[in-house]
Amino acid sequence: MAESDQFNGRLGLIFASIGAAIGTGNIWRFPRMVGANGGGTFLIPWLFFLFAWSIPLVIAEYAMGKRSRTGTIGTFRIFAGKKFAWMGLWTAWISTAIGFYYAVVSGWTIKYFQLGITGALNGEGVDTTEVWNAFLESPGQVIFFQFLVVLLTLGAIWKGAKAIEKVNLYLMVSLFALLFLTLFLSLWMDFEDGSLDGAMFMFTVDFDMLGEPEVWINGLSQSAWSCSAGMGMCITYAVYMSKDEDTVLNAFTMGLANNSVSIIAGLAVLSAIFAVNPDPLATVTGGSSAITFLALPEVFAQAPMDPIGPLFMMAGFFLALSFAALTSMISTVELCVRNFVDHGYDRQKSVFITGVAIFMFGLPSAIMWIKLDSAGVAFPEFLEVQDHIWGYGLMFSGLFIAFSIWKYGYLKWKALVEAGHAAPGFAGYLGIGVSAFRDDFINTGDNDLEVGRWWDILIYLAFPILFAVLMISYFSDMIANTENVWDPANPKGVTIILMFWGVVAALFIWFNKYLVARPVYRNIPEGADVDISMLPGGSDELISDIRDRKDNIDAFMDAEIVD
């Protein structure tokens, strides 16, 4: 009989979730967004959407994963019904597809840590563009560091939840320490001229800019990606929760910790750039890769206490960036692996197969279409095309979560109306249906914080509006600023995105009938009350406890042989 796999406690869940949320985007994209959107002005919409978008979705993910006790495929099969298991497959696929090229990007960060710790970026006359180009145009080096990332990730998740918990704890504590070290040196640099203009810029609000829709849309997009809200990561880690874990407090803790790292990293980067660069805003808004791998080494080389200061600053920053990338890779691979394990596959085999797939399918992003832009800086066009195709696909996972919540509320209200226990009509639905998910799966008595009606308003009303705004603004901007935007051969156009999304969605919907023909095994802790009988997929006879997996697999295989 198989044992359920659990975190040791709340600290493990929080650090694992923070690790999933904190990635390279917190450290290299966030400063660029702050610089391009008025400094402290940007922080207002960014913080607003933390509470209006990210935390509500994380609460939903925790609640769904804690009750379903399965990964994304099983969760949607249970909460939305058998016909919608493909939604969980979409979530798992998009996350894994992003992992193909994210492993390559993570490898860049480790390479630059190596360059930083050996002093290769600190000497006089170092041309950071030449260093970057030489690395990116050396396939062997890029592949080696990509392979190293995959290997480290597989080692972290090989033994399951407790190993993931321990690795994330060490990496997150180290990341915070390294970022504070970098921040201290950056503020020192910024204050050498008697001012803190970088820090002042980051916290100065231009109230006129708050009237610009673009600032709010950028704040929404940064919050949406930064917290990994609605992307299946928290569903996956909720599977390993203890039976009485507080989903609400954990969601707020994770969201606030994620944003805290962004602020520390943003303040460190901006302070350092403002200290030494005559045109800091031009540098900050020059693109994420440009800031990280071209501008920052030049800036950090001018840190105080030469040569120790530059060495510490360079190595510390890129090691922190490497840790952030690795924790995101861990959650990405675990999301995929959990779905295999749910369907009866051996964990170690699943980890190995997923790792091989991520490495092999990531090779094109590592070595194909390495080109030079107009300034002579190398860039990986194939990798950028993959990000162009799959990046926004994750947003649909949040929509699928909201759909499952809406459906549950409607079905519960409808059943109560038919039984004569609820009023018909829209007023009756508002009274019972809208709050059904919150009442049954969030406010279960395990939480120190009780969620009120505000959550219903955000999930039922604000979320679909914000989702539409995000998608419309993204595609509108693309259509307005991209040549031959409808040309299917244009790797930066609209058509290529719609084609890939359409083909994958159609394939997964077709595959759904085969997907739900397999048993699913829930990772249920001893003594946990995780009844699913009231859910759309609750009557599915192929869903059972992981502790009964061996007997059920034998019966399933015997039935397959007879057929």
pLDDT at 552: 55
User: Rounded CA gap, 298 and 380, in Å?
Assistant: 22
- Residue 119 maps to a domain: yes
User: Rounded CA gap, 304 and 456, in Å?
Assistant: 51
Helices (H), 50-127: 55-68, 72-79, 85-117
Q: At what angle do helices 308-342 and 72-79 cross, to 10 degrees?
A: 50
pLDDT at 290: 59
Residues of the chain whose pLDDT is less than 50? 1, 556
- Residue 383 maps to a domain: yes
On whether the CB atoms of residues 135 and 142 are closer than 8 A, the answer is: yes
pLDDT at 554: 52
pLDDT at 553: 52
Question: Which residues lie across from 372 on neighbouring strands?
Answer: 378
H or E element: which one contains 379? strand 378-380
| Number of domains the chain is built from | 1
Question: Domain residues for 429?
Answer: 10-562
- Residue 3 maps to a domain: no
pLDDT at 195: 79
- Residue 1 maps to a domain: no
- Residue 72 maps to a domain: yes
- Residue 5 maps to a domain: no
Beta 520-522 vs 370-372: how paired, if at all?
Answer: unpaired
- Residue 2 maps to a domain: no
pLDDT at 3: 67
Question: Which residues lie across from 522 on neighbouring strands?
Answer: 545
What residues have CB less than 8 Å from 523, skipping those under 6 apart?
Answer: 4, 5, 6, 69, 70, 239, 240, 342, 546
Q: What percent of the chain has pLDDT over 90?
A: 54
pLDDT at 335: 95
pTM higher than the cut 0.85: yes
- Residue 466 maps to a domain: yes
How many CA atoms are closer than 13 Å to the CA of 102, on its beta-carbon side? 25
pLDDT at 516: 93
pLDDT at 555: 54
pLDDT at 191: 84
H or E element: which one contains 464? helix 463-481
Query: Could you give the C-alpha distances from 489 to 494, 497, 499, in angstroms and in order?
Result: 10, 11, 11
